[in-house]
Amino acid sequence: MDTDHFFRSSPLFGWLAGISALTAVTTGVGSPLPVAAATAPVPITSYRSASCGSCKGWIQHMRDKGFQVRDLVITDSDSVKRRLGVPSRLASCHSAQVASYVLEGHVPAADVKRLLRSRLPVVGLAVPGMVLGSPGMESAKATEAFSVLAFSPTGRTNAFSSHFP
């Protein structure tokens, strides 16, 4: 499916996830991994600055949820974001790669797992900025609602999920 067509024609992701699941059942394409492979930790490579505490919190969140995170401390996050194809308006404090996808910012592990299961034709997921209450940005004083956005190679976005305090 043409990614741009998907972003132009779909206000919601639910229908694509349903089609993806139906395709897996009827054709075997995209079917789940064998049980042994499904239980192996999924590797993620994270790129962050040395001083970012919230990035460390996100990495710990991902590890706690069963991901195997390779933590790379970098000095030039802008060049990494450009190389990964992250639109500047979606930027956050850290970037990551999982399978063929890009993660930008404090994306919850549950959303990453859903993305990996659904195999959507997107570049990745982003939580722009630094949202209080997102993984790694937990706060007892304040929590904000936030959306996780899926983005295409041309930078088009669509809501992937919403999280409320």
pLDDT for the residue 46: 98
The stretches of 28-104 forming alpha helices (DSSP H) are 35-38, 53-64, 77-84
The residues of the chain scoring below 50 in pLDDT are 1-36
Residue 22 forms part of a structural domain? no
pLDDT digits (tens, 9 = 90+) for 106-148: 999 999 999 999 999 999 999 999 999 999 999 888 899 999 9
pTM comes to 0.78
Residue 60 forms part of a structural domain? yes
Residues 142 and 133 sit within 8 Å (Cβ to Cβ): yes
| Amino acid at site 61 | H
pLDDT for the residue 77: 94
pLDDT for the residue 38: 55
Residue 25 forms part of a structural domain? no
Residue 35 forms part of a structural domain? no
